[in-house]
Amino acid sequence: MNKIRNLAVAMVCVAGACTAADYAETSKSSFVSYLVPGSSFNDFSAQTPGDGPLASIVFSGGAPQVSYTITAPPSGLFVNYPPDTGVGNWSTSDPIVISFTSGNVHTVGADFFLNDINGKRLSGSISLSYSDGTSAVVPSFTSGPYGFFGLSSTSVITTLTVEPSGNFINVGNLYVSSAVIPEPGGAALCALGAGVCLLRRKQS
């Protein structure tokens, strides 16, 4: 099994943290610019604000089509009120798990943020774990842009787990694609911004 360690240190990327075929991005605009046509986007506007606890949310879209199910076991999901649209955990002790059921997902990106029971955004950090062995720590801000993290992997991504943090964790503006993002401009494929650090130790 891959051994993964998180380091919440700004502007740090340990040598070997990203393989030559993986791409990580903390700039939403850059990530979106690299997506291929037909990528799936879900802003959760089809959900009813205030709904919950929901056992799951199921979504399919894009071309080629991708499918996924979002859960927050065991308590369920909550649909946020505007302007901070997205889905969160009903209980602060529960993770959010996105299971990519179509078996063809290679690229995932989303906004992440923390809030309290009244919907007020909070500062802090949010830990992410991917089935391909990648982990990341994303910042949450009290206002302004959300923390963003995007990953493209040559391995099929089957799950993304947003770990509980003691506050309500939320996912919004979710991008999913079956295509692997090519190396942008021939640059190194580990493109990490402030507040995020990845460290992957490959199987020996």
Bridge partners (DSSP) of residue 135 are: 129
Kindly state the tokens that stand for 110: 């989303």
- Cis preceding-peptide flag for 182 (omega within 30 of 0): no
Into how many domains does the chain fold?
Answer: 1
Q: What is the pLDDT of residues 146-183, one digit of tens each?
A: 999 999 999 999 999 999 989 999 999 999 999 999 76
Quick check: is 175 in a domain? yes
| CATH code for position 119 | 2.60.120
Establish if 12 belongs to a structural domain: no
Is the overall model pTM greater than 0.85, yes or no?
A: no
- The residue ranges of DSSP E strands in 80-152, in sequence order, are 87-89, 96-100, 107-115, 121-122, 124-130, 135-140, 147-152
Tokens representing 171 are 């996912």
In a domain? residue 106: yes
Separation of first and last alpha carbons in the chain: 9
Residue 125 lies in a domain: yes
Give residue-wise pLDDT tens across range 87-98.
999 999 999 999
